[in-house]
Amino acid sequence: MRQKAGCGDPVGCAVVSEWQISDEAGGVLAARWWQWALSAPDEVSPVADETGEHAGWRQPEDLWFLAGTYGGRVVRRCELPAGRRVFFPVLNMQHTKLFSRKAMSLDVTRATAHLNGVPLPLKEFVAPPFRVGLRMHLAWGLWAGLAPLTPGQYVLEIKGETAEGFWVDTTYHLTAVGG
Protein backbone atom coordinates (compact mmCIF):
# COMPACT_ATOMS: atom_id res chain seq x y z
CA MET A 1 0.00 0.00 0.00
CA ARG A 2 1.39 3.39 -0.79
CA GLN A 3 0.11 6.84 -0.05
CA LYS A 4 -0.27 9.56 -2.65
CA ALA A 5 2.83 11.71 -2.85
CA GLY A 6 2.89 14.50 -0.30
CA CYS A 7 0.13 13.04 1.85
CA GLY A 8 1.01 13.07 5.55
CA ASP A 9 -2.29 11.90 7.06
CA PRO A 10 -3.26 8.36 6.00
CA VAL A 11 -6.90 8.85 7.10
CA GLY A 12 -7.40 11.51 4.46
CA CYS A 13 -5.21 9.92 1.80
CA ALA A 14 -6.13 7.78 -1.12
CA VAL A 15 -4.14 4.58 -1.15
CA VAL A 16 -3.44 2.10 -3.89
CA SER A 17 -3.29 -1.66 -3.42
CA GLU A 18 -0.17 -3.10 -5.01
CA TRP A 19 -0.57 -6.72 -3.94
CA GLN A 20 -1.39 -8.82 -6.98
CA ILE A 21 -2.52 -12.32 -5.99
CA SER A 22 -2.52 -15.17 -8.51
CA ASP A 23 -5.45 -17.61 -8.62
CA GLU A 24 -3.34 -20.41 -7.16
CA ALA A 25 -1.85 -18.28 -4.38
CA GLY A 26 -5.28 -16.81 -3.60
CA GLY A 27 -6.82 -20.27 -3.29
CA VAL A 28 -4.06 -21.31 -0.88
CA LEU A 29 -4.55 -18.10 1.14
CA ALA A 30 -8.31 -18.73 1.25
CA ALA A 31 -7.69 -22.23 2.63
CA ARG A 32 -5.29 -20.81 5.25
CA TRP A 33 -7.85 -18.13 6.17
CA TRP A 34 -10.57 -20.75 6.69
CA GLN A 35 -8.28 -22.94 8.79
CA TRP A 36 -7.52 -19.88 10.93
CA ALA A 37 -11.17 -18.80 11.20
CA LEU A 38 -12.60 -22.28 11.89
CA SER A 39 -9.99 -23.14 14.51
CA ALA A 40 -10.95 -20.28 16.86
CA PRO A 41 -13.09 -21.18 19.88
CA ASP A 42 -16.41 -19.32 19.92
CA GLU A 43 -15.41 -17.06 22.83
CA VAL A 44 -12.42 -15.62 20.91
CA SER A 45 -13.62 -16.05 17.33
CA PRO A 46 -12.54 -13.11 15.16
CA VAL A 47 -15.55 -13.86 12.91
CA ALA A 48 -18.09 -13.63 15.76
CA ASP A 49 -16.28 -10.61 17.26
CA GLU A 50 -18.31 -7.41 16.82
CA THR A 51 -15.69 -4.96 18.14
CA GLY A 52 -12.29 -6.09 16.84
CA GLU A 53 -11.16 -7.23 20.29
CA HIS A 54 -10.15 -10.66 18.97
CA ALA A 55 -8.72 -9.55 15.60
CA GLY A 56 -5.20 -10.55 16.64
CA TRP A 57 -6.10 -14.11 17.60
CA ARG A 58 -3.37 -16.48 16.34
CA GLN A 59 -2.40 -14.38 13.37
CA PRO A 60 0.19 -15.93 11.05
CA GLU A 61 3.68 -14.39 10.92
CA ASP A 62 3.73 -13.67 7.17
CA LEU A 63 0.46 -11.75 6.74
CA TRP A 64 -2.61 -10.53 8.63
CA PHE A 65 -6.09 -11.96 8.24
CA LEU A 66 -9.17 -9.81 8.74
CA ALA A 67 -12.28 -11.76 9.67
CA GLY A 68 -15.50 -11.87 7.75
CA THR A 69 -18.83 -11.86 9.60
CA TYR A 70 -21.92 -14.00 9.97
CA GLY A 71 -23.86 -11.24 8.20
CA GLY A 72 -25.30 -7.84 9.02
CA ARG A 73 -23.59 -4.65 10.17
CA VAL A 74 -20.36 -4.86 12.17
CA VAL A 75 -17.88 -2.14 13.14
CA ARG A 76 -14.45 -3.28 14.35
CA ARG A 77 -11.42 -1.38 15.60
CA CYS A 78 -8.06 -3.09 15.65
CA GLU A 79 -4.33 -2.66 15.47
CA LEU A 80 -2.20 -4.61 13.06
CA PRO A 81 1.52 -4.59 12.33
CA ALA A 82 2.62 -2.07 9.71
CA GLY A 83 4.55 -3.70 6.91
CA ARG A 84 2.48 -6.88 6.79
CA ARG A 85 0.19 -7.90 3.90
CA VAL A 86 -3.55 -8.14 4.70
CA PHE A 87 -6.02 -10.70 3.28
CA PHE A 88 -9.79 -10.73 3.84
CA PRO A 89 -13.10 -11.94 2.40
CA VAL A 90 -15.95 -9.79 1.16
CA LEU A 91 -18.30 -12.77 0.75
CA ASN A 92 -17.26 -16.39 1.22
CA MET A 93 -18.51 -19.82 2.17
CA GLN A 94 -17.12 -23.23 3.03
CA HIS A 95 -18.45 -26.75 3.45
CA THR A 96 -17.12 -30.24 4.07
CA LYS A 97 -16.31 -32.50 1.15
CA LEU A 98 -18.96 -34.89 2.48
CA PHE A 99 -21.58 -32.31 1.47
CA SER A 100 -20.28 -31.76 -2.08
CA ARG A 101 -17.19 -32.67 -4.08
CA LYS A 102 -17.01 -29.19 -5.65
CA ALA A 103 -16.80 -25.83 -3.92
CA MET A 104 -20.18 -24.12 -3.88
CA SER A 105 -20.50 -20.39 -4.57
CA LEU A 106 -22.95 -17.61 -3.79
CA ASP A 107 -25.14 -15.67 -6.24
CA VAL A 108 -23.57 -12.27 -5.55
CA THR A 109 -25.54 -9.13 -6.44
CA ARG A 110 -23.15 -6.60 -4.87
CA ALA A 111 -19.59 -6.78 -3.52
CA THR A 112 -17.24 -3.91 -2.74
CA ALA A 113 -14.27 -3.07 -0.56
CA HIS A 114 -12.85 0.43 -0.09
CA LEU A 115 -9.76 1.53 1.81
CA ASN A 116 -9.95 5.21 2.77
CA GLY A 117 -12.64 5.61 0.11
CA VAL A 118 -10.60 4.04 -2.70
CA PRO A 119 -12.14 0.93 -4.32
CA LEU A 120 -10.08 -2.24 -3.99
CA PRO A 121 -9.98 -4.97 -6.62
CA LEU A 122 -11.82 -8.13 -5.60
CA LYS A 123 -10.93 -11.55 -6.87
CA GLU A 124 -12.79 -14.85 -6.83
CA PHE A 125 -10.76 -17.68 -5.28
CA VAL A 126 -11.58 -21.35 -4.86
CA ALA A 127 -9.52 -22.99 -2.13
CA PRO A 128 -7.93 -26.37 -2.71
CA PRO A 129 -9.32 -29.02 -0.32
CA PHE A 130 -8.10 -28.28 3.21
CA ARG A 131 -8.33 -30.01 6.57
CA VAL A 132 -9.93 -28.63 9.72
CA GLY A 133 -9.94 -31.21 12.47
CA LEU A 134 -10.77 -34.58 10.98
CA ARG A 135 -12.71 -33.29 7.97
CA MET A 136 -11.74 -32.04 4.56
CA HIS A 137 -13.35 -28.77 3.48
CA LEU A 138 -13.87 -26.83 0.26
CA ALA A 139 -14.33 -23.07 0.01
CA TRP A 140 -15.19 -20.28 -2.39
CA GLY A 141 -15.12 -16.53 -1.95
CA LEU A 142 -14.60 -13.01 -3.18
CA TRP A 143 -11.42 -11.75 -1.55
CA ALA A 144 -9.15 -8.73 -1.42
CA GLY A 145 -5.53 -8.30 -0.46
CA LEU A 146 -3.64 -5.24 0.70
CA ALA A 147 0.05 -4.64 0.23
CA PRO A 148 1.80 -3.81 3.52
CA LEU A 149 0.35 -0.72 5.18
CA THR A 150 2.56 2.10 6.41
CA PRO A 151 2.04 3.21 10.03
CA GLY A 152 -1.17 5.19 10.40
CA GLN A 153 -4.94 4.95 10.52
CA TYR A 154 -7.15 3.49 7.80
CA VAL A 155 -10.85 2.88 7.24
CA LEU A 156 -11.75 -0.32 5.40
CA GLU A 157 -15.37 -0.68 4.28
CA ILE A 158 -16.60 -4.08 3.10
CA LYS A 159 -20.09 -4.56 1.64
CA GLY A 160 -21.70 -7.51 -0.05
CA GLU A 161 -25.11 -8.95 -0.82
CA THR A 162 -26.46 -12.14 -2.37
CA ALA A 163 -29.60 -12.83 -4.38
CA GLU A 164 -30.80 -14.95 -1.45
CA GLY A 165 -30.82 -11.88 0.84
CA PHE A 166 -27.62 -12.49 2.84
CA TRP A 167 -25.66 -9.26 3.32
CA VAL A 168 -22.59 -7.88 5.04
CA ASP A 169 -21.68 -4.31 5.89
CA THR A 170 -18.40 -4.26 7.81
CA THR A 171 -16.26 -1.29 8.72
CA TYR A 172 -12.76 -1.77 10.05
CA HIS A 173 -10.99 1.15 11.73
CA LEU A 174 -7.42 -0.06 11.35
CA THR A 175 -4.33 1.30 13.03
CA ALA A 176 -1.08 0.06 11.49
CA VAL A 177 1.64 0.24 14.15
CA GLY A 178 5.40 -0.30 14.19
CA GLY A 179 7.37 -1.10 11.12
pLDDT 10s digits, 17-34: 557 899 999 999 999 999
Residue 42 has pLDDT above 70, yes or no: yes
> What are 64-86's pLDDT values in tens digits?
999 999 999 999 999 999 999 99
> What are 84-113's pLDDT values in tens digits?
999 999 999 998 877 666 778 899 999 999
Mean pLDDT of 42-60: 98
Report how far residue 174's alpha carbon sits from residue 52's, in angstroms, rounded to the nearest whole number. Answer: 9
Computed over its alpha carbons, how large is the radius of gyration of the chain? 16
- Residue 70 near residue 167 (C-beta atoms within 8 A): no
Q: Which residues contact 57 (CB under 8 A, 6 or more apart)?
A: 40, 44, 45, 46
Report how far residue 128's alpha carbon sits from residue 28's, in angstroms, rounded to the nearest whole number. Answer: 7
Average model confidence (pLDDT) for the chain?
90
Select from 8, 145, 172, 7 the least CA-distant residue to 79.
Answer: 172
- Residue 57 near residue 75 (C-beta atoms within 8 A): no
